[in-house]
Structure 1
Amino acid sequence: MAERGAATKQIAALIAEDLDEEALARKVCQACVEELDVDGAAISVLPANPSRRTLWATDATALALEDLQFTLNEGVCVEAATSGVPVLVSDLARTSEHSRWPVFAAEVAERTPAKALYALPLHWGALTIGVLDLYRLRAGEFTAVQWQDLLGVAEVAALLLLQLRTRPGSARRATEVPDGEARRGTGPGVAGVDGDGRGNPELHDDGHPDDTEGRDAALSDVLFGRPEIHQAVGMVLVQLGIGPEEALARMRAWAFFEQRMLIDVARDVVERRLVFTEEMR
């Protein structure tokens, strides 16, 4: 058996800790950034389901990439979730990637500084529990050692998530994050996304995120669950008399038509600024 890499060892050590899903996801993402030469990471669960939820994103760029994929229903995370195999895009500027996901690739280039994306399904047997998403600010592939370490991280993280979701009486607790940790997103900024919790925290002139409590709380709300999306799906299915899958598809289509993020459309629905009708196709 090959020796475990540094990131895998960090994750394997978590088996002795009493963590909830968010705390586990935070530690997995941070280990990847520290040991695998990536600039950011995120973990989502139930990625192919309308109930998809981002457990953690290390920074605003990672969060924006998650939101873009959920809004457009395409990209590395979506493909990894549906195919069950890793999806590695070492250079987003390649023409082949633009033809593979034309809208997503264009939006990533416009809204984020990411140049390479990687997604690994977190599965146990035939069950895909979630997806680990990573990005780099430069194009490039993993070394053989890094790749083996990353595979180990995905395997151990999937096992730990499965244990959390199947243990008797398990209940997710509110995650306590030390001051300065990744909940508020201190990584690279996202062009064109504002600081009200829908992506990039507002930046000071020196390029560092604003630390105000209001924006911290807003970004935290988006990171942990996006309940507005699920509430909006329920409202749209009542408005149109359709199922949840189609309601989500209608919301995605409207977000695409309006060139907005899905979370913003959901908030309009919840706050009754937007009512879906049969004519909105």
Structure 2
Amino acid sequence: MPELGVVTRVLLGFARDGSDDRGLARTICGACVNGLDVDGASISVLTVTDARETLSATDRTAQLLEDLQFTLNEGPCVEAALTGDPVLVPDVQDSTDTARWPAFAAAVMEQTEARALFALPLQWGAINLGVLDLHRRDPGGLTDGERRDAFGAADVAALMMLGQRTDPGGGGWLDGGVASRAEIHQATGMVLVQLGVTAPEALARLRAHAFVQGRLLIDVARDVVARRVSFLEDVQ
């Protein structure tokens, strides 16, 4: 099993501190800037109206990159949000990387110092929560180690966002409330059996279902325990 990257380990070690979505996004962005060879980061999320909202940007360039993509409706963040795939641009001045976003590429070169852009979807299963955007002033792609770390950090960040939205009172990001709430523990076990997955994956499925339905994790868990909700439908 590959060793966890620096940023991934840092995010896994964070405890909840009662901060809201924006505070959580600041924490994630700060960890990425401190642990990766990038100069700035931002997080945007998808809202219930399919619009995007920037939760955090570490610097003026990160905010401007978000604003340009919102305004022009094109760019790596937009593409990552639509496709659910990472979009890595080692050099915005290389037309082979940016030909599909001509207006955005021209604006970036004219208005910012950013040269390399990396957009990582915050996704769990079919649930697309938003995008983690990273930028660097110098051109060049991520190393293999940086890529693994960035991708792992995006996965953990997605779980953190799911936990924030669906179980804000829990004690931890990946298993918040499970030890102290019998219904969540029981529901996780039931989903584990239904889908034949691990306990962390079963809990993530519960969180994703709660996120889509706009409900708290504890309420979904109670429905699973009462057999009002079954995850067997997901595999039929």
TM-score clears 0.5: yes
- CA gap of 1:130–1:115, structure 2 versus 1, over 3 A, is same
The reply on whether 1:13 has 2:13 as its aligned counterpart is yes
Question: Which residue in 1 is equivalent to 2:129?
Answer: 129
For each residue in 1:40-97, what CA deviation from the matched residue of structure 2 results, as whole angstroms up to 9, or x when unmatched?
0000000795531101000000000000000000000000000000000001111223
8 Å CA contact 1:46, 1:52 repeated in 2: yes
Gap runs ≥5 in structure 1: 171-281
Q: Secondary structure at the match of 2:140?
A: coil
Residues 66-215 of structure 1 aligned to structure 2 (within 5 Å): 66-167=66-167
Q: Which moved more, 1:18-27 or 1:110-119?
A: 18-27
- CA gap of 1:105–1:48, structure 2 versus 1, over 3 A, is farther
Q: CA deviation at 1:19?
A: 2.8
8 Å CA contact 1:46, 1:53 repeated in 2: yes
Q: Distance in 1 between matches of 2:81 and 2:59?
A: 22
8 Å CA contact 1:124, 1:159 repeated in 2: yes
Question: Which residue in 2 is equivalent to 1:183?
Answer: none
Amino acid at match of 1:128: N
Q: CA deviation at 1:20?
A: 1.7
8 Å CA contact 1:48, 1:81 repeated in 2: no
Q: Distance in 2 between matches of 1:74 and 1:47?
A: 18
Residues 200-279 of structure 1 aligned to structure 2 (within 5 Å): none
- CA gap of 1:137–1:49, structure 2 versus 1, over 3 A, is farther
Q: Distance in 1 between matches of 2:70 and 2:48?
A: 9
For each residue in 1:195-249, what CA deviation from the matched residue of structure 2 results, as whole angstroms up to 9, or x when unmatched?
xxxxxxxxxxxxxxxxxxxxxxxxxxxxxxxxxxxxxxxxxxxxxxxxxxxxxxx
- CA gap of 1:153–1:169, structure 2 versus 1, over 3 A, is closer
Q: CA deviation at 1:5?
A: 1.0
- CA gap of 1:47–1:64, structure 2 versus 1, over 3 A, is farther
Output the aligned Cα RMSD: 1.8
Q: Distance in 1 between matches of 2:78 and 2:47?
A: 7
Give me the identity figure in percent.
54
Question: Which residue in 2 is equivalent to 1:56?
Answer: 56
For each residue in 1:132-166, what CA deviation from the matched residue of structure 2 results, as whole angstroms up to 9, or x when unmatched?
00000011111111111111100000001011111
8 Å CA contact 1:15, 1:160 repeated in 2: no
Q: Distance in 1 between matches of 2:150 and 2:3?
A: 13
Q: Distance in 2 between matches of 1:69 and 1:47?
A: 16
Q: CA deviation at 1:168?
A: 6.5
- CA gap of 1:144–1:47, structure 2 versus 1, over 3 A, is farther
Q: TM-score, normalised by structure 1?
A: 0.58
For each residue in 1:11-34, what CA deviation from the matched residue of structure 2 results, as whole angstroms up to 9, or x when unmatched?
111244433211111111111111
Question: Which residue in 1 is equivalent to 2:174?
Answer: none
Amino acid at match of 2:8: T
Q: TM-score, normalised by structure 2?
A: 0.68
- CA gap of 1:90–1:48, structure 2 versus 1, over 3 A, is farther
Amino acid at match of 2:85: V
Q: Which has the higher contact order (CA 8 A, sep 6+)?
A: 1
Gap runs ≥5 in structure 2: 171-236
8 Å CA contact 1:120, 1:131 repeated in 2: yes
